[in-house]
A and B are shown apart, each in its own frame.
Chain A
Amino acid sequence: MAEQYDVIVVGAGVSGLTAACLLSKQGMRVVVLERLERLGGCCSNYDVRGFRPEVGAIFVIGHEFYYKLFELLDLRLEDYLDWKVIDPVYYVYFEDGSAYPLPRDIDAMAEVVRSISPEDVDGYYRYCRDMGKLFHVYLAFLRRPLPALQDLTSITGLARLAANRELIYAIPVNLKLLFRNMDRCVRGYFRHPRIQLMFGWENLYAGLPSHRCTGLFTAMAHFGRMGYYYPRGGMIAIPTALARIAEGLGAEIRLGAEVKSLIVKGGEARGVRLADGTALTSRAVISTAHSRVTYLKLVGEENLPSWAVRTVKRQPCSIPAPLIHMGLSRKLEGIRAHMSLVANPREQVDNIWADYYDRGLLYRPADGAYLLVCPTFDDPHLAPEGKDVLSVFYIAPYRLRYHDWDRIAVDWAWEVVRFLDHRCLPGLADAVEWLDSVPPTELERRLNVAEGAFFGIEMSLTNMGPFRPNYRSRLVPRLYLAGQCTNPGLGVPGAMISGVADAAIILNDWTRRLG
């Protein structure tokens, strides 16, 4: 019997939709199955009485990559997405109540550095020069025309894309960052602890204290200055644009369609079974769910060798990204930027890991570090008129040693709100019209992401490159994995790259293996 589809894509996140666009463009019959009633997975917005906070991703780093993707689709990005650059990049609130904007402009930022520590200005310009070399490698890569989709997986195609003169100039900086931890790198440029904090807190994204985090994260502050972008309409605008393109190219997208299991015949993935019992057949399946969900639930432990079950179970998840979302009845004067960092001295931020996180403990709100995100700062349409949306990211373990997240989540959220009210946002507690506390366990339930992990699987050397789950499954032929658990990881553009890679690999396999 002929299969109903060429490719079934599990999940309408950015990775699944990217693969769907590219494969549909090649004339394949593609269906995307999404368990939620909403597009985008972790890159999306939800709606409560007109307040539309981000579910997960809050900004895009490396937005230039999107232009490349649209090049592959022969489309103009401007017709689908409207970017706004985030400026100031952050507002930083220190423990003594002082606050500083971190502007994008290099010289304006130098003035901020000068106002805190004049002796660090030279180090700042040295930092910009060094990180600029890395940024130029990235820009040079973007200037190259992309090869055809099917050539993207060939070694020569990739080498041609990567080879550029800027790469050679950046080797010394690259080596320095690669072989030093972030703490050492930051100290190499800056002396004043506050300046060190301004340029050295992005290790929180890696989920590691700065002395255990690779120095490469030092570049992130500079990349932010080169541009963190935000799409008009919120992060959901990205998957919405991709879905529109995929449907225009003939793909089918079904929301509210949960895949219960893969149909495995003769050891190969030959389709899926939905929660309502419907069976859909295909020549290949792409799963963008977390690798633990894909292998342990969808494929099923019974279809895998025991060593593989063990390995998938044991591969560590990245840190979770617990959140508190709020709808505010009025605009607060204290909110002065799209994103703000509320932090204690740098050593104290680093100690959160050893003192609390690794031991499964929750700290007093005053001992934490918080990233505040106000999307309505750049797009007022994400809340009813005159009101604001505010989300708070914090660091906390998936499992608490002495508490149950489900019991304490709301009380804890209010403690944090009262702390922020006292520390930097007077009037916040009174302005909260609606509050949604999303601890890691709840994030896991809502997004079907194991442990509510920020980047799927840990972003450490032993969980990257060949040690991350393969695009083409080595365990189940005709099954392909994409998304944040695969390479390169690290957020929305990374997930989209995995979608491109899967499409390229399937296209090549089509002629050689899948038949």
Chain B
Amino acid sequence: MDRSSVTRGRAPLIAAALAGGLLVGFAVAFRLEEESRRRLRKAFFELRELPFRVMV
């Protein structure tokens, strides 16, 4: 069996794990209190901005 077919065989598993992770992530984020959710949003925003800030 070549390597690409191994990967293809595991694809549904990986997709399910990702979807599960996403669901758990949403659930956790949903249950966070307002302050923590705000901090999380800010952390993501800051992370996204970093490469641009270096260029200014």
Contact = CB atoms under 8 A, between A and B. Distances in A.
B49 A307 contact: no
A312 to B, nearest CB: 6
B56 A308 contact: yes
Contacts of B39: 212
Interface in B29-56: 35, 38-39, 45-47, 49-50, 52-56
Contacts of B54: 466-467
B35 A307 contact: no
B40 to A, nearest CB: 13
A167 interface: no
**Which of B35, B38, B39 lies at the interface centre, i.e. has the most chain A CB atoms within 10 A of its CB?**
B35
Interface string A78-90: 0000000000000
Using C-beta atoms within 8 Å of the partner chain, give the interface range for chain B.
Answer: 10 to 19
A307 B48 CA distance: 12
A385 B52 CA distance: 54
Interface of B: 35, 38-39, 45-47, 49-50, 52-56
Contact of B38 (A295, A314, A315, A358): A358
A460 B47 CA distance: 12
B56 A469 contact: yes
A359 to B, nearest CB: 9
Contacts of B49: 311, 314-315, 462
A475 B35 contact: no
Given A295-B56, A311-B49, A311-B52, 6 more contacts: A312-B56, A354-B35, A466-B53, A467-B54, A469-B56, A470-B56
Contacts of B56: 291, 295, 308, 311-312, 315, 469-470, 473-475
Contacts of A315: 49, 53, 56
Interface residues of A, number: 23
Interface in A165-213: 212
B6 to A, nearest CB: 40
Interface of A: 212, 291, 295, 307-308, 310-312, 314-315, 354, 358, 460, 462-463, 466-470, 473-475
A212 B39 CA distance: 10
A308 B35 contact: no
Nearest to B38: A358
Contacts of A308: 52, 55-56
A75 B39 CA distance: 48
A463 B43 CA distance: 12
B46 A462 contact: yes
Contacts of A354: 35
29 contacts: A212-B39, A291-B56, A308-B56, A311-B49, A311-B52, A311-B53, A311-B55, A311-B56, A312-B56, A314-B45, A314-B49, A315-B56, A354-B35, A358-B35, A462-B47, A462-B49, A462-B50, A463-B46, A463-B53, A466-B54, A467-B50, A467-B53, A467-B54, A468-B53, A469-B56, A470-B56, A473-B56, A475-B55, A475-B56
Contacts of A460: 46
Contacts of B53: 311, 315, 462-463, 466-468
Contacts of A474: 55-56
Contacts of B55: 308, 311, 474-475
A311 B52 CA distance: 6
Contacts of B45: 314
Contacts of A463: 46, 53
A295 B53 CA distance: 13
Contacts of B38: 358
B52 to A, nearest CB: 4
A325 to B, nearest CB: 33
